[in-house]
A and B are shown apart, each in its own frame.
Chain A
Amino acid sequence: EPEVTQTPSHQVTQMGQEVILRCVPISNHLYFYWYRQILGQKVEFLVSFYNNEISEKSEIFDDQFSVERPDGSNFTLKIRSTKLEDSAMYFCASRIGQGAYGYTFGSGTRLTVV
């Protein structure tokens, strides 16, 4: 069964450093997302990406965050200057087309900012 792949599974970084979280969405999917889950809290939407541009973003997704689809397969989330409160599980998701049907999540990257 096709799956969304995320690397690394765990990233530890020092406060103020830049991190890049990587995702390989399902190959024929057209919509791409990043979500995060702070420990003990709900999964929260960060950003959606379609047709090589951001289609929607939440208030969490401030200027410290950026997304990119540098080639035909990867989808990255960059955090420019990490803060302690950025520590969370970050999930990439993709879906094939219009509507919420078929959302598939990756296994997540646990980001720990120290």
Chain B
Amino acid sequence: DQQVKQNSPSLSVQEGRISILNCDYTNSMFDYFLWYKKYPAEGPTFLISISSIKDKNEDGRFTVFLNKSAKHLSLHIVPSQPGDSAVYFCAASGQTGANNLFFGTGTRLTVIP
């Protein structure tokens, strides 16, 4: 049941360039989307989120874009830094009371110095 998909398992980017991580979802009831960063042996760390009423949210070097008609969101990191190297998970939440998250399979970002 792949309600949230990240089709690129890995991405390599030169330091200073833009990293673009993509995520697709199938459930039109999702109304809140989050990006998490994860290092090995650590829990997911919240990065940035976006509500379905917006199409863009920006926080420093991180920007998330949401295209509801395409059921697609992306995370842009610019400029990319070596410390950004990690696995990035996209997650989505619906309007259920518990708001449990549905995660994608993750994209491993490597930023090359």
Contact = CB atoms under 8 A, between A and B. Distances in A.
Contacts of A44: 103
Interface in B34-86: 34, 36, 41-46, 49
A105 B45 contact: yes
B41 A42 contact: no
Interface in A95-114: 95, 98-101, 103-108, 110
B66 to A, nearest CB: 14
B40 to A, nearest CB: 10
15 contacts: A31-B99, A33-B100, A42-B89, A43-B91, A44-B103, A45-B101, A48-B99, A48-B100, A50-B97, A50-B98, A56-B98, A58-B100, A91-B44, A103-B46, A110-B41
Interface of A: 4, 6, 9, 31, 33, 35, 41-45, 48, 50, 55-56, 58, 91, 93, 95, 98-101, 103-108, 110
Q: Classify the interface of chain A: helix, strand, loop or mixed.
A: strand
B100 A107 contact: no
A107 B42 contact: yes
Contacts of B103: 35, 42-44
Given A42-B89, A56-B96, A100 B101 contact: yes
Nearest to A49: B98
B99 A41 contact: no
Contacts of B91: 43
B100 A91 contact: no
B54 to A, nearest CB: 13
